[in-house]
Chains A and B, each alone.
Chain A
Amino acid sequence: MINIQNLHFAYRKKPVFTGLSLRLQPGHIYGLLGKNGTGKSTLLRNIAGLLFPDKGSIDVLGFTPGKRQPAFLQEIFIVPEEFYLPDVPLQHLVQYHAPFYPKFNKAQFEKYIAEFDIPVASSLQNMSYGQKKKVLISFGLASNASMLLMDEPTNGLDIMSKSQFRKVMAGVMDENKCIVISTHQVKDLENLIDRITVIDEGKILFDQTVDTISRKLSFQIAFDSEEIKQALYGESSLRGSAIITANTTGEESKLDLELLYKAIVLNGPAITAVFKD
C-alpha cells in the first residue's frame, strides 16, 4: 500500500531523512512513534504529497504522492496536528466538501458525530478546538479513504473524547484500510494500534507488530533486584519496578507501550536483538 524506498528529505540544509525505507500494508493501524522533531509529521506530509522527497521514492496505492492527482487525494485523508476548518455550518461541510470523496458515507459521518457528542446545528467557528478536531476525524473516517494519516490525533481531546476516539477507531478498521497514527502520547494508542514503528534521527529504529512484540517480550512488575538487573529495560515505580524482559515462557503479558518506547529509545540494540532471533 505504501512503499517508501531510500527516502531523503531535508528542510533547506537540515536533513530529516537520509535513506529511510518503509513498507506499510493495508489492514493495520500503525503507531508512528518518535521524539519531537524526529520527522514523524514530515513523513506523513511526504506520504500525503504535501512535501516532495529530495531523493528516493514513495509509492502510495500505485500513485506518486507529489503529483497530487485527484484519484490519489480521494484515497488519502490527513488529520494534521494543527488544522484548519472553514467557518461553515456542519451541513455545508458535508454538502460541499464530501462530494470530493466518492466513498463518503453521510450516515457514517452522522454516527461518528453523534458518538463524539458534536452539536450538529453549530457552525464550525463556534466549536472548541477539540470539537473541531473530532469533526475532522469523523469526516476523515466517513470519507472511507484507503489511507488515513493522523498526526497527534488525541492532542487537544479531553479524557472522555480520547476514550470515544479509541472506540470509534476500533470500529472502522477493515482489511483494505491503512491507518497511520503519529503520536508521542503513546498511552492514548494502547489497545488500538497493531504495529509499532519508531522513528529516530530520520531512521526506522523499530518496526514490529503488536503480536510479535507480545510473543517476544514480557512486560511485568518486578521486585527482585536480580530480575531487575537482568531486564532489557526497567524503571522504578511506586509499585515496584516495571521491566521488559525477553519472553521465554511464551506467556503473553499486557503491552506497556510507553515503557516499550522508552526501552527502544534508551536501549534500542538490546530490544531489537530479541527480534532478530
Chain B
Amino acid sequence: MGKHWSENRKKYTLALIAIAGLLLLWYTVMLISDGYWGIGPSVQLSTYYSGLFIAGCLYGSMLFADLGSKTRGLNYLVVPASHLEKLFCSLFYAVVVFFVCYTSIFYIVDAIMLKAGNALAYNHWLKHHAAGDVFEPRKIANVFYQSEQSRKPDMLVYLLLLYFVIQAVFIVGSVYFARFSFIKTTIAALLTGLFIAFLIGKVIFPILPHGSFYQGITSYKVYTVKEGVTINGVTEGISIYSDPATDKLVTLPTWIGDVLLFLLKFAFAPLLWLATYFRLKEKEI
C-alpha cells in the first residue's frame, strides 16, 4: 500500500484536483445557463453518477496499464508480493479509495457551489419576490438514497452496484489489453452486449413456447395456441392469444429468483475481480 501510494501520489493528487476542477466548471456552467436554480437534486445526482462512471471507469482501465509497458510491467511483477496481494492493493485504491475520495470531493464542490448558488438566488429573491413568498434554498442531495416519495427508492443503490460492475469490467480490460485499454474494453463490452442480445432474441426466445415473462424472470406465461385460423372458410396456420382460462403459468421457486438477483447485485464485480486475478497470474512480460 505504502509503495503504491509513494509511487502514485503525485498522479492521484493531480487527478483529484482535475476532478474537482471539472465539477466546479460544470456547476458554474449550470449556474450560468440555468439561473440560480441550476443545481437541483436531479442535476446533483446526474453529475455525481456521470462523474463516478466516467472517472471510475477511466481509472479502472488504467489500473494495470503498467503491464502494457515492458519496463513498468517487469518492475510491477517482480515485486516480492503474491498476485493476490498486488490485486488487493490495486483494488483497494481503485474501488475503495477512489470511491471515498470522489464522493468527498463531489460533496465539497457540491456544498461550495450550492452555497454560492443559494446566496445568488437569495439576493435575486430579495429584489424580486412577491409578498408572502418564502425563500427555499437548494439542499445538498443524498446521492445514495432517493426520498420515500420517489417511485423507485432503491434505484440509486442499483446504479451504484452497476457502477462497481462496470468498473470491474474496465479493470479486467486493463490487464487484458496492453494498450488503449479504455477504448478496447468499451468495444469488447459493446460487442458482448450485442452478442447477448442476439443470443436472447434469436436463440433463446425461439426455443421457448409462445408467451412472455410474467412478474419477474422466474415465472413465464405460456399463451394459448390454437391450431388453425379460419379465414373465409379456409383453416390454416395457428393462432396465439392470451386467455386467462387456458394460459399456463410456469413458475420457478422464488428462491431461484432471489439467488439470481443476489448474484446480479453482488457477484458480478467480485467475479470480474477474480478474472483479473487469474489474468494477472498468467501475465508474461
Contact = CB atoms under 8 A, between A and B. Distances in A.
A50 B83 CA distance: 13
Contacts of A78: 74, 78
A211 B83 CA distance: 42
A22 interface: no
A8 to B, nearest CB: 15
Contact of B71 (A83, A88, A96): A83
Interface in A65-114: 68-71, 73-74, 76-78, 80, 82-88, 92, 95-97, 100-101
B10 A50 contact: no
A86 B7 contact: yes
Contact of B6 (A68, A85, A88): A88
A73 B80 contact: yes
Interface of B: prevailing SS = helix
A274 to B, nearest CB: 39
B132 interface: no
- Interface bin, chain B: 20 to 34
B81 to A, nearest CB: 6
B15 to A, nearest CB: 15
A274 B285 CA distance: 39
Contact of A45 (B80, B85, B285): B285
B284 A69 contact: no
A84 B285 contact: no
Contacts of A96: 2-3, 6-7
B71 A92 contact: no
B71 A82 contact: yes
B77 A68 contact: yes
A68 B282 CA distance: 10
Interface string B67-94: 0011110110111111101000000000
A50 B74 contact: yes
Nearest to A88: B6
10 contacts: A48-B78, A69-B82, A73-B78, A82-B70, A83-B75, A84-B72, A86-B75, A88-B6, A96-B3, A100-B80
Interface of A: 45, 48-52, 68-71, 73-74, 76-78, 80, 82-88, 92, 95-97, 100-101
